[in-house]
Every structure is written in C-alpha cells, then in structure tokens.
Amino acid sequence: MPSTVREPYSIPAAYKALDPSECKREALVDAIQGDALVIGAGITGSTLAVHLCESGKSVVQLEAKVPGWGGSGRAFGSVVPCHKNSEEAIIRHYGKERGTKVIDALAHGPALVSELLNRHHIDAAFPGGGWAYGAHSKPFYKKLQKRAEYWQARDADVEYLNATEFSQVIGSDYYGGGLIDRRALSVNPYSYARGLFKTAHHLGAKQYTDTPAIAIEQKPNGAWLVATPEGSVECENVYFCTNAYTKGVWPGLEKGFVPVRGFGAITAAVDPTLLADILPENHFITDTRQLWSGIRKLPNGQIHLGVGGPAMGAKGKADLKVARQRLKDVYPAIGSVEWGESWSGWIAISTDQFPRILRLANGIWAAQGYNGRGIAMATLLGRELSLCQGDTERGDLVLPVEKKIPWVPFHPFSPVGAAAMIALYGIQDAMAVRNK
C-alpha cells in the first residue's frame, strides 16, 4: 500500500520523554466531508490546520503514522533565520523584490515560531542564547564577518566574535571565530509538531492517525475524493504536507526532490561538572562545514549532535565514530562518550536547494523541498498554504506558487548523484579542517 517512504527508525526517545502527552486519534473508517483536507501531521500540516481552523474552515487532517513521525519529530531542532542558500543566491533566484521579501520572511522565521509557541502555550523551546555559528577554517572568518555586517546593517541581533570571545561563549577554543545570532531558537521539534497538532484539535480539526491517504480522484462536481484504507474524505481543497515522506498518492510529487537521510545522536547523561563548561550559555553550535556539525545541550544533561551516515536508502546506522571524534575535537575534556541513542529521518533535497509551494491542480496544493532547514520554513509555508484555495493565483505570498513539479533530472539515478555530492562535501570539509 503506498503511504510514506520507508522509515527504519523510530522517533528519538529523548524527544518523546520530554513530551509524553497522548495525541493519538482513531483511524478513519467512514466517508466524511470537509472544506479542506490536510495530509500529514508534521509542522507544515499542523501549522496549516491551525490557520485553516482559525479562518473558519472545516478541516480534516490525516496522518499515516503519528503526529511528528516525519522530519518534524527527528530534526536537530535549530530554528535559524536564514535558508541554505545565501542572501545573494536568493536575490538571483527570485529577483530583487521577491528575493528581499523571502530574506525578510526567513529572518522573521524564529520569531514566527515563537509567536505560535506563545499564542498556543506550546512548551517546545529550550532556554538558550541562540546560534553560535563557527568558522571551521580561515576563508570563512571573513565570510562570517561580512554576514554579521550585513545583518547588523538591518538591525539584527547578530555579532561576529574573534577566537577568544567565541571560545568564551561556547566553552571551546576549537574555532578561530564565529557569529552569534541571538534571533535563533533551539526547540524540541517533536513537541512543537505535536503542540500544533493538539492546537488544531482544540480549534475543531477532525484528525485521524494511522490513516494514510492512498488514492485521490476528482468527482464530476469538481470536488476531490481522497481514499484511506477504510474511509474517504471529500473536500474542495487538498494540501499535501508530506514533504520528504511523500510516496505515490499524487503522481510524480516525490520526483521533485531527492530524499536524503540525516542522522541524529544523543549521548548518555554527561557528568554535570563537565557539562557546565560545555556551551555554558546554552547556544547551539553549527559551523561552516557543508555536512553535519550541530552540537547542543538538552535540558536533561545529554548532548545532541547532528551526525552523518549512509544517506541514500533505508539501511545503515549513524556514523558515531566520526561524531565521537568531532565532539572530542571541540570539547577534549569530554573524553570518550557513551551514546544514549541515534536515529535518522528523511530530508527533501531539491536540485536548486529552494523550497516550493505547488498548485498541482485546482484545489490541490503541496509544499516541499526544505533542504534540511525546515522548522521555520514549515511554519511559514503552513501559514502561506492556508491562503491558497481553489484556482486562486495569489501574488502576495512570500514564495511564488508554482504549477509544475520541478523534476529532478534522471530521478531514478539521483541517489547515485546525491551520494557522490555528499562524499565530495565530506572530502572538502575534511581538507578545510586539516588546513584550519
């Protein structure tokens, strides 16, 4: 039965322990109707369901597994005010006017997440000083300095610190300098996704879990009929919020990106005296490496790392040897850590690394391709999708609405291309660190 992409791991136990509340619903066994059907209960789907309910729509939401099952329950949890692509690349891609709008919306991303958390009393944000973005080799010192100047000119709470200053903030002299971005947030993404799901429920959404959408057809009256294993939903508008976990319901939707597996790992509890010197102001670190570099402390005294591993296909485990060495490089006092758990999740990578809102037919919408920077983006695009209905061609959204799925060329062979690209990034990162 087509449902979601093959997912070999469960949601991280540490995230679940921080959010043990129940949000399982019954499976759908009837034929029901609504104004809008939201497929997927990650951050995109549940933000969208909240906004649609608030605008007075009758909303049905289907989730193939449980809320937060996809990337939203597995992410590293950094909410940053920018995307993968640089500000220059964003302007080149969208043009000056729209590009500036996109940059501003991204810069507001963490604040948008905070607003939702506060408005709906969702307890998902960790206390912390923001983002410590380290320069992992010399050419990046200047780059980050320029980035700080760019944002300071726009009154953002961002500053570049030299090696000594940066080391005081993160408790390590590993980096030759870095940027502190106090706009960023560190969250439990699973709690965030589930908090939004519960909010949509309170606002009146009819929700069904363990209920994959499996087929879709248009009725003679123009309405859409979506089948599930034991029921169906008829509605005017259908929103695919399935991102990297899309598989086989709308023809070709999964061909707009390459699903790549990202990994996370959490140490066993660390000695509190050692822990006090690590990230003393509770920033989260990432650095200018192209591959995984995230390190943060969880409130329960464990350390969480973004980790590499076999990225293509569902087999294989996180590369904990490399992760252990990276942690030791940055925090030598920690010695050889014990791991508590590791997991993986799928990330939707588009060829140009830009996300998209798609209108696939009248009343059929999708958002996808967040390229691993999806927490703020899903929040933004969930809101934007709530403004998309029927055959409306809205021009006032942050992202343009596109009608064609942006096919990845030679899609069946794309895992080979993506694996080669990831290997190349790994080599470039290692060489840069060696020459640091």
**The two three-digit tokens of residue 383, written as one number:** 């809101």
Q: Angle at CA 378, nearest 5°, toward 316 and 15?
A: 50
Residue 45 binds ligand FAD, judged by CB under 6 A: yes
Instruction: Kindly state the smallest distance separating residue 245's Cβ from ligand FAD, in Å.
Output: 4
Q: Look up residue 138 and give its two tokens.
A: 């010399």
Q: Does 12 bind ligand FAD (CB under 6 A)?
A: no
Region of 165-173, 250-258, 269-277, 370-378 interacting with ligand FAD (CB under 6 A): 370-378
Residues ≥6 apart with Cβ < 8 Å to 430? none
Secondary structure element (H or E) that encloses residue 375, with its range: helix 375-385
Residue 72 makes contact with ligand FAD by CB under 6 A: yes
Judged by CB under 6 A, which stretch of 75-83, 270-278, 398-406, 419-427 contacts ligand FAD?
A: 75-83
Task: Give me the least distance between CB of 81 and ligand FAD, in Å please.
Answer: 11
Identify the residue among 147, 297, 373, 383 touching ligand FAD (CB under 6 A). 373
CB closest to ligand FAD, residue no = 374
Residue 378 as a binder of ligand FAD (CB under 6 A): the answer is: yes
Tell which positions 387-406 bind ligand FAD, by CB under 6 A: none
Is 75 a binder of ligand FAD (CB under 6 A)?
yes
As a whole number of angstroms, the distance between CA 84 and CA 305 comes to 19
Ranges within 97-136 binding ligand FAD (CB under 6 A): none
Q: What's the rounded Cα separation, in Å, for the pair 88 and 99?
A: 9
Which helix (H) or strand (E) element contains residue 237? strand 237-240
Q: What's the burial of 156, exposed, middle or buried (CB within 10 Å: 0-12/13-18/19+)? A: middle
The answer to the question of residue 245 lying near ligand FAD (CB under 6 A) is yes
Query: For ligand FAD, what does the binding mask look like between residues 79 and 98, x meaning CB under 6 A?
Result: x-------------------
- Exposure class string for 93-129: b at 16+ Cβ within 10 A, else e: ebeeebbebbbebbbbbbebbbebbeeeebebbbebb
CA distance linking residue 190 with residue 273, whole number of Å: 29
Q: Which residues here bind ligand FAD, judged by CB under 6 A?
A: 3-4, 39-45, 62-65, 69-72, 74-79, 189, 212-213, 241-246, 249, 262-264, 345-347, 370, 372-376, 378
